Amino acid sequence: MQKSLLEIFLNDLTLHCDKYLPYFPVYEQYFSRYRNTDLTFVEVGVQGGGSLQMWRQYFGNKARVIGMDIDPEILNRRAENVEMFVGDQGNIDFWNEVLPKVGTIDVFLDDGSHQMQHQIDTMIKVWPHIRLGGVYMVEDTHTSYYLDWGNGLLHGHTFMEYSKKLIDIVNLNHWQGMITPETDFIMRTFGDIGSVQFNNSMVTFTKGQPKWIRPNPYPNPLG
């Protein structure tokens, strides 16, 4: 009988792994169907290396498990049979370099810097590389509410507020009324979001079929 992810986390790891226990039912909800398949799994922010060890054991030997971290020392804490990329998720050039090497992604987990713009920019860059039916998960989103991080409840620049805007994409084919440059960009970047789920300190997106996209009433706001 296969061990649960929580059992692996509690009993089997030899490298450090720091995960919030309420995350584990959400992990199982979205990740269990990928066990013993040839998925491509990517985690940004792997700290002590134990999470990659955990994912490797959980998903099995067929999986391609990839870790990314800004700290070069992570190469000295490498779990067996995983790939590693060192770089700054807040640097667009890093994504331009690494994403062609990674290819299509089944599951992407952002446990990186937890900085608001990093989380938003990472999703904008990575989302097009998520496979149809795939999962994009951001954890530790409680930093959106931390005053000492320059954030707070309903602060407009946070990842949580950005995520709330993406809820409307689920009903994109029913949109009527004014389209602004911001909603036009969101529509064209994330028009294939299939679902959005909020849990304590987590937001999870799944990729569905692209929805009908109306003609563009605005020039690209990014030029």
Per-residue pLDDT of the chain (223 residues; tens, 9 = 90+): 899 999 999 999 999 999 999 999 999 999 999 999 999 999 999 989 999 999 999 999 999 999 999 999 989 888 889 999 999 999 999 999 999 999 999 999 999 999 999 999 999 999 999 999 999 999 999 999 999 888 999 888 999 999 999 999 998 888 888 888 888 899 999 999 999 999 999 999 999 987 755 555 555 444 3
Looking at residue 209, what DSSP letter applies?
Answer: P
| DSSP for 47-96, written as a single string | TTBHHHHHHHHHH-TTSEEEEEES-GGGGGGPPTT-EEEE--TT-HHHHH
Tell me the Cα Rg of the chain. Answer: 18
| Per annotation, catalytic residue among 16, 114, 142, 157 | 114
Annotated catalytic, 114? yes
Which domains does the chain carry? 5-207 (3.40.50.150)
